[in-house]
């Protein structure tokens, strides 16, 4: 079995039963996305085709392999050596596929089984079809997307080409930058009328960092689905991905296009620092532009260095950090253990994360993957801080693929009468089960404890959980109707994986009452929303009593929690980012797809709006702001205003 087959096979064994839904795409698209070198019997089952690499382990098909970075792991590409087989068409030698696509499709010539089109901006099995690449906001219609990097048109600049220069027409300015229109009543008496238009606060300044912190990381992707929330097919139609780290891209794009954005740092209330850490980590093992030489194979250490260098850059190039010691700055750490490995220099800032570990119980790295372990990072570099501080930080929901069919089904609104299952959890349950994660430390042992008590599927020894019940589902066997199964349940388990998992989002989006079992770890908005009104928290020590606790809720309590879940579920949807893409597609094609039609029906506050609301609250309630007087002047700097006198 080739290296690529080995990884795909291992990935499927680890992920079976995880309950993740793959995008609905054609067989041709599957070939175009990579991981095609599966045993032939598995290729026929589309549900097992790998569309992204959850473990983010590097693959070489070029014959330049060096020893693996973990025992029994795949080899890593040695980019310092020339690959003599790069042009070979010998099917017995791994290498790039350089054949005539027309002849290859017609079966006139032989080609490698390893051939696949993994690179962004290309489609077809042999990458013969050029398509749209993924760029930040697709360059806002004012530039060319070059594999992830925006090459801006004359008169425009910025990571997404959304910032006009003096030669740009004001008619082309983005809506967030255009001057407000003011209706003045008709009257001859109105002379020298002074009009003041209040801007929407909070005002957010987004640093225009060097491309190496964002755009070049997108450009350097080796697999088109890494660290993005969408790609484009051979018709340039949008294909949304299940990449859990897509939230980082979604928030970045939404803030860039937000009416709360300002180009004037002097009037800003907050400063957003856009470092795409998910793109760093996914390439840390093999990218020639990301050196691991000083980091002992630790991706966490490399990522820390990136954030640290971004800090040095903004301190050196901008005056804003020292005014508040960085307390009005915002950083996004999207990876499995969030800001656990944030450098000490930036810890005063607000951290946006998916992992809200306060370290009150689990005061160590909780990942089972050694390359992400942060325990080995020196405290002289990392400092001594928790992964999450609820007084200043915020846990954001993970990205979930925009599925028009699921949304149209309105699972979130299913009433109590349709929810026949008391408790539901479908996911990896660890080493006791076939194809389970082999590490005892996986999920900090929490999923394993749950399965030991309530497992509804036989483990390797053929045993069920000690307290298994007919209306309780705890299984690693992949559900064919994952969303409907959640919608058919009253309570749903929210347990960690390798750090955070997306089970809170799955529960809320399908209207199920979340049962949170992870001590000292905050979930999305938990320091903002009243979790007691719509969720249940059970301590890890109380797992054996879980079903007894859940059966103790009466009908009134259950119905109230279900009703409250229905009130907040849209706060777990990245609607703003999705509708930005809908606007781009409508501009390009004159119409919108089904997914856009469904999401246009949503009207309640989404993730981005919730974040803005939290920032607005912090603006007026953060204790440090009350101690520091800021004499801010709002509006354009004087040098940007035309003198009409």
pLDDT above 60 for 440: yes
Q: Which of 88-97, 488-497, 636-645 has the lowest mean pLDDT?
A: 636-645
Average pLDDT over residues 536-565: 98
Using the CB atoms, write b or e for 383-417: b if 16+ within 10 Å: eebbbbbeebbbbbbbbbbbbbebbeeebbebeee
pLDDT above 50 for 244: yes
pTM of the model: 0.83
Question: How confident is the model at residue 516, as a pLDDT?
Answer: 98
β-pair partners for 494: 516
Question: How confident is the model at residue 27, as a pLDDT?
Answer: 27
Question: How confident is the model at residue 60, as a pLDDT?
Answer: 31
**38 against 592, higher pLDDT:** 592
| C-alpha distances out from residue 86 to 83, 89, 127, 222, 493, Å | 6, 9, 15, 16, 48
Average pLDDT over residues 32-58: 29
Question: How confident is the model at residue 25, as a pLDDT?
Answer: 30
Phi, psi of 301 (to 5 degrees): -70, -40
Token pair of 497 as six digits:
């994986």
Please, are residues 455 and 443 in contact by the beta-carbon 8 Å criterion? no
Average pLDDT over residues 445-472: 97
β-pair partners for 145: 150
Average pLDDT over residues 450-474: 97
Cα–Cα distance for residue pair 330/151, rounded to 1 Å = 27
Nearest CA to 482 among 413, 554, 527, 427? 427
pLDDT above 80 for 629: no
Please, are residues 76 and 85 in contact by the beta-carbon 8 Å criterion? no
pLDDT above 90 covers a percentage of the chain that reads: 62
Bridging pattern class, strands 394-395 and 122-123: unpaired
Please state the separation of Cα 269 from the chain's center in Å: 25
Nearest CA to 52 among 244, 206, 281? 244
- Residue 192's pLDDT band, with cuts at 50, 70 and 90, is low
pLDDT above 60 for 451: yes
Question: How confident is the model at residue 368, as a pLDDT?
Answer: 85
Please, are residues 300 and 320 in contact by the beta-carbon 8 Å criterion? no
Q: At which residue do the structure tokens 């800003």 appear?
A: 268
| C-alpha distances out from residue 382 to 154, 329, 349, Å | 42, 18, 14
pLDDT above 70 covers a percentage of the chain that reads: 76
CA angle 521, 339, 321 (to 5 degrees): 130
Mean pLDDT score of the chain: 82
Q: Cα torsion for 81, 82, 87, 89, to the nearest 10°?
A: -40
Q: What is the pLDDT of residues 506-541, one digit of tens each?
A: 999 999 999 999 999 999 999 999 999 999 999 999
Give the SS3 label for residue 309: helix
- Residue 287's pLDDT band, with cuts at 50, 70 and 90, is confident
Phi, psi of 534 (to 5 degrees): -140, 0
Question: How confident is the model at residue 182, as a pLDDT?
Answer: 53
pLDDT above 80 for 558: yes
- Residue 268's pLDDT band, with cuts at 50, 70 and 90, is very high
Q: Which of 86-90, 213-217, 449-453, 541-545 has the lowest mean pLDDT?
A: 86-90
Q: What is the pLDDT of residues 162-190, one digit of tens each?
A: 998 877 776 777 776 665 555 555 555 55
Q: What is the pLDDT of residues 369-409, one digit of tens each?
A: 888 899 989 999 999 999 999 999 999 999 999 999 999 99
């Amino acid at each position: 079995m080739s290296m690529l087959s080995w990884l795909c096979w291992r990935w499927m064994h680890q992920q079976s039963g995880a309950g993740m839904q793959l995008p609905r795409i054609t067989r041709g698209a599957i070939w175009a996305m990579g991981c095609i070198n599966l045993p032939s019997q598995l290729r026929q089952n589309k549900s097992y085709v790998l569309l992204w690499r959850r473990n983010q382990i590097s693959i070489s098909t070029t014959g330049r392999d060096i020893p693996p970075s973990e025992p029994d792991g795949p080899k890593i590409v040695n980019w310092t050596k020339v690959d003599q087989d790069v042009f070979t068409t010998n099917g017995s030698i791994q290498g790039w596929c350089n054949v005539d696509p027309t002849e290859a499709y017609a079966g006139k010539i032989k080609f490698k089984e390893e051939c696949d089109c993994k690179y962004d901006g290309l489609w077809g099995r042999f990458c013969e079809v050029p398509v749209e690449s993924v760029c930040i906001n697709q360059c806002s219609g004012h530039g060319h997307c070059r594999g992830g990097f925006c090459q801006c048109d004359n008169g425009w600049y910025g990571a997404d080409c959304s910032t006009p220069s003096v030669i740009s027409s004001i008619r082309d300015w983005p809506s967030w930058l255009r001057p407000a229109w003011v209706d003045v009543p008709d009257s001859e008496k109105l002379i020298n009328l002074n009009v003041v238009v209040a801007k929407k606060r909070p005002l957010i300044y987004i640093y225009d960092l060097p491309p190496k912190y964002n755009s070049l990381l997108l450009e350097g992707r080796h697999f088109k689905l890494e660290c993005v929330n969408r790609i484009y097919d051979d018709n340039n139609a949008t294909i949304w991905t299940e990449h859990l780290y897509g939230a980082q891209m979604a928030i970045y794009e939404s803030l860039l296009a937000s009416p709360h954005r300002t180009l004037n740092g002097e009037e800003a209330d907050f400063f957003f620092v856009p470092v795409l850490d998910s793109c760093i980590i996914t390439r840390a093992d093999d990218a020639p532009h990301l050196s691991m030489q000083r980091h002992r194979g630790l991706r966490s250490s490399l990522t820390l260095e990136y954030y640290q260098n971004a800090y040095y850059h903004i301190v050196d190039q901008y005056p804003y950090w020292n005014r508040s010691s960085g307390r009005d700055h915002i950083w996004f750490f999207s990876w499995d253990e969030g800001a656990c490995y944030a450098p000490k220099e930036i810890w005063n800032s607000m951290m946006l994360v998916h992992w809200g570990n306060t370290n009150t119980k689990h005061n160590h790295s909780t990942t089972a993957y050694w390359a992400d372990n942060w325990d080995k990072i020196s405290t002289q570099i990392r400092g001594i801080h928790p992964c999450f501080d609820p007084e200043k930080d915020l846990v954001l929901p993970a990205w979930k693929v925009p599925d028009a069919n699921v949304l149209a089904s309105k699972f979130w609104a299913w009433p109590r009468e349709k929810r026949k299952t008391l408790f539901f959890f479908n996911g990896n349950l660890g080493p006791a089960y076939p194809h389970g994660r082999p590490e005892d430390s996986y999920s900090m042992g929490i999923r394993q404890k749950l399965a030991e008590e309530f497992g509804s599927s036989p483990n390797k020894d053929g045993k069920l959980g000690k307290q298994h019940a007919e209306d309780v589902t705890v299984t690693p066997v992949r559900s064919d109707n994952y969303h409907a199964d959640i919608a058919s349940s009253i309570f749903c388990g929210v347990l960690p994986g390798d750090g955070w998992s997306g089970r809170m989002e799955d529960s809320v989006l399908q209207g199920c009452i979340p049962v949170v079992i992870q001590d000292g770890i905050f979930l999305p908005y938990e320091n903002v929303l009243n979790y007691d009104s719509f969720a249940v928290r059970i301590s890890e020590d109380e797992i054996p009593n879980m079903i007894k606790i859940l059966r103790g809720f009466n009908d009134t309590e259950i119905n109230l929690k279900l009703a409250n879940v229905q009130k907040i579920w849209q706060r777990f949807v990245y609607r703003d980012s999705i509708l930005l893409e809908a606007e781009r597609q409508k501009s390009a094609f004159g119409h919108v797809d089904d997914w856009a039609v469904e999401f246009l029906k949503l009207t309640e506050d989404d993730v981005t709006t919730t974040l803005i609301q939290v920032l607005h609250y912090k603006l007026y309630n953060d204790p440090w702001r009350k101690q520091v007087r800021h004499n801010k002047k709002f509006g354009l700097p004087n040098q940007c205003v035309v003198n009409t006198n």
